[in-house]
Amino acid sequence: MTSTKQFEANRRNASKSTGPRTAAGKARVSKNAMKHGLAAAKLILIEGEDEEEFKAFEDRMFDALNPRTALEGEYARRIVANSWRLRRIPQIEAAWFAFQTYLNLKQRLPREAPDGTPHPAEYLEAADQVDLGRLVNTMFQNGISERLTRYQVSLRNQVAQDIAELKALQIEDAVELEPVDAYEISSEPAAQSESV
């Protein structure tokens, strides 16, 4: 249990730490918990992604999907966002491999030969290939590959489902229903058929 004195000290210290104050600082800390953005509720461009490239991708996708109503536009936005996320998976794998290779080489391989001269590039490339087997094994042991595969399957299924629903909406919107004539109401009884 904290004493009154400690409680008051904590309160004074907390009032000094108010977090980021600038818009840039707030934007930066809003991404603190994000790891890869594959399951984020809202599409956020992660470090290394180009906003202009995304806009061009979005424009091409909207041209191809051709949404005509607000609801179709929502499906198109979901398709664009999840398709963009799908494009991240190979980049995440490549970055993970590159980082693990770097760590492996940094730990195991001196950058210079015993005589102090740098190793030739071919030597380093061969070492990278040898380490690739270890990295794949590590990736499977850590469950990274399984998680990326689950994200990939989930995103593909969502994109396929959204495309199917968008197409169904577009077909439904394209069908023009024939106006139905009102039934003529007559005061005369309907003719009865003769019974035999």
Place of tokens 């492996």: 104
pTM above 0.85, yes or no: no
pLDDT tens for residues 134-146?
555 666 667 777 8
Average pLDDT of the chain, as a whole number: 74
Q: How far apart are CA 99 and CA 37, in angstroms?
A: 19
All structural domains of the chain with their residue ranges: 49-172
**Residue 134 has what pLDDT?**
57
Mean pLDDT, range 45-68, rounded to an integer: 89
User: What is the reported pLDDT for 177?
Assistant: 45
Give the single-character DSSP code of 188.
S
Q: Which residue has the tokens 């707030």?
A: 26
Burial class (CB in 10 A: 0-12, 13-18, 19+), 162: buried
Q: Which of 163, 43, 34, 155 is nearest to 89 (CA)?
A: 155
Residue with the bigger pLDDT between 165 and 43: it is 165
Tokens of 183: 């039934």
Asked if 75 and 169 touch (Cβ cutoff 8 Å), the reply is yes
Q: At 98, is the pLDDT very low, low, confident or very high (cuts 50, 70, 90)?
A: confident
- The yes-or-no verdict on residue 103 having pLDDT over 80 is no
Which structure tokens are listed for 81?
Answer: 């966002």
Rounded CA-CA distance 2/10 in Å is 10
Tally Cβ neighbours within 10 Å of residue 123: 12
Residue type at position 157: N
Short-list 22, 97, 77, 85, CA closest to 49: 85
